[in-house]
Amino acid sequence: MTNNAPIGVYDSGLGGLTVWREIRRALPGESLLYLGDGKNCPYGSRPREEVQALADAAVGYLVGQGCKMIVVACNTATAAAIDFLRAKYAAVPIVGMEPAVKPACLHTRSGVVGVLATERSLDGELFRRTAERYGHGIEVLTVPGRGFVELVESDREATPEAEACVRAAVEPMLARGADQIVLGCTHYPFLLPVLERVVAGRDVTIVDSSPAVARRVANLLDERSLRAAADHRPVYTFHTFADEAYRQRLETKALADA
């Protein structure tokens, strides 16, 4: 493996592109290989063992492609499988997602923090530990973003239907006084314009952990001396377990947005 090998970025589908674009911004000299499973999306309400098996297949694929580092840009797969993946693929550094509960708890003024994530992420050990560690004296409200992933996967993230769906999840948090809303799924930042309309006029901060994940990737590259050479020309490739049409959607969405 060389320093010019790509960083692998993996998600169940399109959502990890919100992390991909932050990594690209933070590390413009690095090649990136994006894998959006697509075939098995959504992961969010599958049993943990199933998500672990899907994540295993995906990370095995990225290792086979020669990735020098892997970012599991999926909160659900991180919650279900990160320890397993790090043990099995010990030769490759693996970065996972952590919902930004810590900064939200540090910055809340009302003492109420809302977390939106998939069902599987919210009932996972990882989330429970994070909420326990940082949520002392703070009310952490969790709401599964029902239908959110499907809206993004079908390009309906800017529709009135999306707004109604997001409003239904967020209104109860606002009614309880939440002033921080944590996006605990990498698909959700695509719903930001709708979310911002729903919280308009209130003093609410929406917290996304993808910039922090990109910083973690940069630090880890330095720690392991894995930065690409200064004269390396970065290459962006897109892979899927679905079909060519889906692969093209990944590419178009990533590059349109970047």
Active-site residue set: 74, 185
Location of structure tokens 């993946």: 85
Residues 125-184 that bind ligand DGL (CB under 6 A): 149
Residue 17 found at the interface with ligand DGL (CB under 6 A)? no
Tell me, residue by residue from 64 to 93, as one string, x for binding to ligand DGL by CB under 6 A and - for no binding: ----------xxx-----------------
Helix axes 210-223, 17-26, angle to 10 degrees: 50
32 binds ligand DGL (CB under 6 A): no
What's the CA angle centered on 160, arms 158 and 162, to 5 degrees? Answer: 60
Q: How far is the CB of 230 from ligand DGL (least distance, A)?
A: 33
d(CA 143, CA 193): 19
Question: Would you count residue 42 as binding ligand DGL (CB under 6 A)?
Answer: yes
Binding mask 212-241 for ligand DGL (x = CB under 6 A): ------------------------------
User: How far is residue 170's CA from residue 145's CA, in Å, rounded to a whole number?
Assistant: 9
C-beta of 185 vs 213, nearer to ligand DGL: 185
Task: Assess 38 for contact with ligand DGL (CB under 6 A).
Answer: no
Closer CB to ligand DGL, residue 39 or residue 224?
A: 39
Query: What token pair was written down for 125?
Result: 């050990």
Render 96-149 in DSSP notation, one character per residue.
Answer: ----THHHHHHH-SSSEEEEEE-HHHHTSHHHHHHHHHH-TTSEEEEEE-TTHH
The pair of three-digit structure tokens given for residue 5, joined into one six-digit string: 């090998």
Give the CB-nearest residue to ligand DGL. Answer: 44
Q: Which residues bind ligand DGL (CB under 6 A)?
A: 11-13, 15, 41-44, 74-76, 118, 121, 149, 185-187
